[in-house]
Amino acid sequence: MMRIRFQVKKQILCLLFSCMLFAVFTTEPVKGQNAEMDVKVQSPSAILMEASTGQVIYERDADTKRSPASITKIMTLILIFDELKSGNLKLDDEVTTSAYAKSMGGSQVFLEEGEVQTVETMIKCIVVASANDASVAMAEKICGSEEAFVERMNARAKELGMTETHFCDCCGLTSDEQHYTSARDVALMSRELITKYPEIYRYTKIWMEDITHVTQKGSTPFTLSSTNKLLKQYEYTTGLKTGSTSVAKYCFSATAHKDGIDLIAVVMAAPDHKVRFADAKTLLTYGFSVCSIYHDANTDTLPKLKVKGGVEDTVSLRYDKEFRYLDLNGQDMSGVTKKWELSETVPAPATEGEKAGEAVYYLGEQRLGSVDILYAQTVEQADYGDCIKKVFLKTLL
């Protein structure tokens, strides 16, 4: 009996050892599919996103609500650029500093009550020096009060799907527990800012720049120094915003561009400023090592479709947008094909902007994605008079 048990144990041990050898020699981490095995960051919350597609490449505890400190100002900047786009605000418009704006502590450019600066100068103060006083001055310029501006910030966050976010101020200085966001939500608002308003890079790439305080005391030069030290540590850096308080610790939303790819790396609650910059650089370096983008600008000519029962016999088409696909697995994208999925004939009416079909992209048998094909014009349904007119015109030809 003892001998039989020993033989059984020996067979089990051999089987386990064989399984271990098989695992060692046949498994290999695939980049992009298991980033935890490729990326090591110290920050408790982090996320890496490709900007054009919004695809997440890496994440770590990305949905935990955390105090954001000054990366709050990313949303403040979105609202400023929304106003510029709408025409309600111009870069050379003047902004007057209130007593309340002047009273802001933390990061500031020491604006005086009654001091007037242009919108563009205020943007530089917010982006480069993370100025709380300039942020509040702009909030008051746009909405009349910081409270009203914060309401708009929260509404905009909801529009962007930032489900783990609530703002209590426009600069992140508050220690209110109800002022929070997540790494994922920071990436979402960062993506909105850089993709919708790429002109932000004119300011986020500034390392140092002088402004002039003009008050009743006279003119005084003041040097803005960037809080984003990654601008000098990583050559592909394009932005975006740092933040730190005793509650939030050290936060950073970093953006970088290389070989046509834009990445967003967000770290939150890093233990010190060195870790936040090191973690961001680690994420960005990893991202550029595994990412490649297939891009189709969709400038080719689409066929016209026949229209049945319309005032016109055919209808023109257009693509809804360009196509981008993010590959993380080193695939050869030169073999990508595009297939139009369209009907030969469509019934009237055909309305401009409505979907007519799809352009579907394949790599071999793998479906990568699609872009809608839309009607480029409206073709109304023909009435009896239109039909008579068509018949008459055909008899003349």
- Beta strand ranges found along the chain (DSSP E): 45-50, 56-60, 94-96, 116-118, 208-215, 218-225, 237-245, 249-258, 261-270, 292-296, 305-308, 314-315, 317-319, 323-327, 336-341, 345-347, 355-363, 366-375
**Residue 384 pLDDT level (bands cut at 50, 70, 90):** low
Complete DSSP assignment for 49-80? EETTT--EEEEESTTS-B--GGGGHHHHHHHH
254 touches 48 (CB < 8 A): no
- Mean pLDDT over 109-122 rounds to 97
Is the model's pLDDT at 281 over the cut of 80? yes
Confidence of residue 15 (pLDDT cuts 50, 70, 90): very low
Establish whether 190 is a catalytic residue.
no
The rounded distance, in Å, linking the Cα atoms of 362 and 339 is 8
The Cα 283–Cα 290 span in angstroms is 11
Q: Quote the radius of gyration of the chain (alpha carbons, Å).
A: 28
| Known catalytic residue at 219 | no
Contact 161, 44 (CB under 8 A): no
Confidence of residue 390 (pLDDT cuts 50, 70, 90): low
Q: Check pLDDT > 80 for residue 394.
A: no
Q: Which residues, at least 6 apart from 391, have a Cβ–Cβ distance to it below 8 Å?
A: none
d(CA 277, CA 280): 5
Global pTM reads 0.85
State mean pLDDT over 341-357: 96
Does residue 36 contact residue 59 with C-beta atoms inside 8 Å? Answer: no
Known catalytic membership, residue 43: no
Catalytic-labelled residue, pool 31, 73, 241, 281 = 73
User: Which residue in this structure is represented by tokens 């200085």?
Assistant: 173
- Check pLDDT > 70 for residue 106: yes
CA–CA distance, 95 with 179 (Å, rounded to integer):
26
- Contact by Cβ (8 Å): 297, 287: no
Rounded percentage of the chain residues whose pLDDT exceeds 90: 85
| From 70, 190, 244, 253, the catalytic residue | 70
Q: What is the tens place of the pLDDT at every residue in 235-280? A: 999 999 999 999 999 999 999 999 999 999 999 999 999 999 999 9
Question: What does the block give as tokens for 289?
Answer: 């090592």
Pick the most confident of 11-20, 34-43, 48-57. Answer: 48-57
One-letter amino acid identity for 65? K
392: left (phi over 0), alpha (psi -120 to 50) or beta: alpha
130, 226, 244, 253: which one is catalytic?
130
Task: Categorize the per-residue pLDDT at 217 as very low, low, confident or very high, splitting at 50, 70 and 90.
Answer: confident
Q: Is the pLDDT of residue 12 over 60?
A: no
What pLDDT was estimated at residue 81? 99
Q: Can you give the pLDDT at residue 391?
A: 59
pLDDT number for residue 302: 97
For the chain, domains (ranges, CATH) are 35-290 (3.40.710.10), 305-396 (2.60.410.10)
Residue-wise pLDDT for 149-202, tens only, equals 999 999 999 999 999 999 999 999 999 999 999 999 999 999 999 999 999 999
